[in-house]
Each structure stands twice: as C-alpha cells, then as structure tokens.
C-alpha cells in the first residue's frame, strides 16, 4: 500500500519525501527548505554535523536560514508533500475540466455564426 503512494508522487516530490525520512525532518522543515530553494539531494552535505561539530544540525540550520530570509519562525500554513501533491492534482483536474467546458462552449457557438 505504501508503494502506491510512492509511485503516485512525481520524482521531484519523491526526492523531498526521501530526504525527509533520511534526515529526520518535519513537514514544516521540508516546506521551509523547499521555500528556500534547497536541493533535496544536497542536504546530506549540510547534515554532517557529527563529523564537523561546528555545524548546526540540519533541522536547526534550515530553521535559522528560513527565519533570516523570511523574518518569521515557520510558514503560516504547513502541508506535507503528499498533501501538496493532492492539492496540485485536484487543481490541475479543475483547470482541465474548465478548459474542456470552455472548448465545448466555443465549439457550440462557432457553427451558428
């Protein structure tokens, strides 16, 4: 059952789900990292605080960067990657339906002119 959810996500979002699990990030921290424009495949280089003790742990580092750039501690609305993908799919379906309805309307008006 879990594999179906994985297959349903686009690869660019699946990379974030994998990074969330690999680096033990919360949904809010993943959303912050995405808003900052970070690359999910490059998070490992920022997360090696055990070998390099002067580095902050990755979750704290993401929160620090987010607060510095946006001037607030966390996003106003926090959604998981899966929920964002569901909302995007719903929105895309609505746009397709509206476009098809507009196309049908235009096709019905054309022969009468």
* Three-class HEC string of 42-104: HHHHHCCCCCCCCCCCHHHHHHHHHHHHHCCCCCCCCCCHHHHHHHHHHHHHHHHHHHHHHHH
What pLDDT does 37 receive?
96
Q: Which run of H or of E encompasses 35?
A: helix 27-36
What pLDDT does 38 receive?
97
What pLDDT does 48 receive?
81
Q: What is the mean pLDDT of each run of 10 residues along the chain (113 residues)?
A: 59 93 96 96 88 91 96 93 90 93 84 58
What pLDDT does 51 receive?
87
DSSP letter at 41 equals: G
Residues 113, 101: Cα–Cα separation, whole Å: 19
Every domain of the chain and the residues it spans: 2-109
Cβ of 33: how many Cβ atoms within 10 Å? Answer: 26
What pLDDT does 112 receive?
55
């Amino acid at each position: 059952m879990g594999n179906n959810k994985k297959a349903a996500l686009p690869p660019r979002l699946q990379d974030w789900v994998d990074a969330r699990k690999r680096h033990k990030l919360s949904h809010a921290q993943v959303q912050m990292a995405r808003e900052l424009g970070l690359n999910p495949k490059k998070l490992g280089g920022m997360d090696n605080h055990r070998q390099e003790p002067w580095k902050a742990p990755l979750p704290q580092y993401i929160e620090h960067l987010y607060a510095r750039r946006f001037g607030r501690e966390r996003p106003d609305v926090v959604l998981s990657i899966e929920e964002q993908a569901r909302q995007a799919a719903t929105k895309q379906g609505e746009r397709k339906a509206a476009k098809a309805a507009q196309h049908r309307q235009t096709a019905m008006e054309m022969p009468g002119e």
